[in-house]
Chains A and B, each alone.
Chain A
Amino acid sequence: MSLYYVQKFLFELNRDEGLQQSYLHDRAGVLEPFELTDEETSALVEPDIGLLFHLGVNGQILMHFAALHQIAWADYLQLMRDGIEKHGPVREGVYAMTGYEGVDAHAESLGQSNRSE
């Protein structure tokens, strides 16, 4: 497992529009210089947002990868929840689940008319 290199790739991808274009044309090819496991390569190629979150990718990096794939915000949050449901708790990194009830319910409890869809 090489969380550092998964995040290093995403860090570089987020900063470099040229790399983004190369990635969109040849996803597996641009990953070759990075020290990744087959599981990590597959998650980055597919992409599998839920698995990447489970592996421990920081959300501040992952959310831009989701945006690159035109994944809407609410869907991004759900894909991470699905990943935890499918694969189990975050393996590595700073995260732990806290039993949060979700944006809509929290906004409603504050008396706000949220429209997250």
Chain B
Amino acid sequence: MALVYAGVCSHAPGITGRADQADPAVRDAFYESFDQMRQDIEASGAEAIVIIAAEHFANFFMNNMPSFAMGMADFYDGPIEDAAWLGIDKFRAPGNKDLSRRLITEVMQSADVSYAEEWKFDHGIAVPLHFLTPRFDLPVIPVNINCQGPPLTPVHRAWAFGEALRRACDAVPEKIAIVGTGGISHWPATPDSGKINEAWDRDFLDRWSRNDKDALLDYDDTQVYADAGQGGFEIRTFVTVSAAANGAPGDVHFYAPIPIFAVGCTIASYRLAV
């Protein structure tokens, strides 16, 4: 069994870019939880980290939009955003082309996925890496799910992709950590930025913690948009991790709405039987 860690976290650019504007008490508690996630991943012995992100038009655009894409390179540069704006210096993160190729080949047996030998990380991956591998010493395998440009990847396909990803992780000898990043409810980069539907978030996290497949797939995009904004479409990344966890129960380690970060800040993980 090669999957040694499965968790989720937030990735909003304000987490690092507007850190000085947040309530210090809430912000620091969130940062501490992020650091505990880093320690848990290190303790798992993970030799690579698969980050399942909801990209924001940094690499993929409506001229050629994949439902799923995985990186297959030996390095990745980031952040694509202005470093001062994001609050993260330019970096080069290590990849593992050979491991990527083996994982992608296995995923393709049961799910359609595009691959990319070139990928510039935006905040969706750069913010989690900033906290989880601050020395950029753990090979990263980026994954993207189309949560931005309709028609979006169906949620039930995100589940099927997660199952395929789990099979792939179990087929390689390396120890793998999977981290999904995204929403939950939020209205990022719009006039409604900072709005958070805490009740909706907590209900989603309850379903996620129980790893209740039927409940997790019981979301309609029209209703998600009404209740949780266009940022709510990013639940696909969390759902993929649920499927990869293969029924394991989960724990929410941190949740707090932080409006200036424009998201309900979340850290959670599954108790894998490893």
Question: A residues bordering B, Cβ < 8 Å?
Answer: 4, 7-8, 11, 14-15, 53, 58-64, 67-68, 73, 77, 80-81, 84, 94-95, 97-98, 100, 102-103, 106-107, 110, 112-116
Contact = CB atoms under 8 A, between A and B. Distances in A.
B26 A58 contact: no
A41 B272 CA distance: 53
Given A67-B81, A95-B230, A106 B195 contact: yes
A100 B230 CA distance: 14
B250 interface: no
Contacts of A110: 257, 259
B136 interface: no
24 contacts: A7-B61, A8-B61, A11-B57, A11-B61, A14-B80, A63-B189, A67-B81, A68-B82, A73-B17, A94-B225, A97-B191, A98-B187, A98-B229, A100-B191, A100-B194, A100-B195, A106-B196, A112-B26, A112-B258, A112-B259, A113-B23, A114-B21, A114-B23, A115-B20
Nearest to B221: A94
Contact of A100 (B18, B26, B148, B192): B192
Given A59-B189, A60-B148, A114 B259 contact: yes
Q: Which 5 A-B pairs give the minimum distances between C-beta atoms? A: A59-B189, A103-B194, A60-B56, A112-B23, A100-B192
Interface centre among A8, A11, A58, A60 (most CB of B within 10 A): A60
Interface residues of B, number: 38
B173 interface: no
B153 interface: no
Interface string B177-197: 000000000011111111110
Contacts of B62: 4, 7-8
A106 B194 contact: yes
Contacts of A107: 23, 194, 258-260
B56 to A, nearest CB: 4
Given A11-B57, A60-B56, A98 B21 contact: no
B210 interface: no
A102 to B, nearest CB: 7
Interface centre among B63, B81, B120, B194 (most CB of A within 10 A): B194
Contacts of A60: 56-57, 148, 188-189
B82 A67 contact: yes
B239 to A, nearest CB: 20
B58 interface: yes
A53 B189 CA distance: 10
Given A112-B259, A113-B23, 6 more contacts: A7-B62, A53-B190, A64-B82, A67-B81, A100-B194, A107-B259
Nearest to B21: A115
Given A106-B259, A107-B23, A100 B61 contact: no
B22 interface: yes
Interface string B205-234: 000000000000000000001000110000
A98 B192 CA distance: 7
Contacts of B259: 103, 106-107, 110, 112, 114
B222 to A, nearest CB: 11
Contacts of B56: 60-61
Interface in B4-53: 14, 17-18, 20-23, 26
Given A73-B18, A112-B259, A97 B192 contact: yes
A7 B57 CA distance: 10
Contacts of B260: 103, 107, 114-116
A7 B62 CA distance: 9
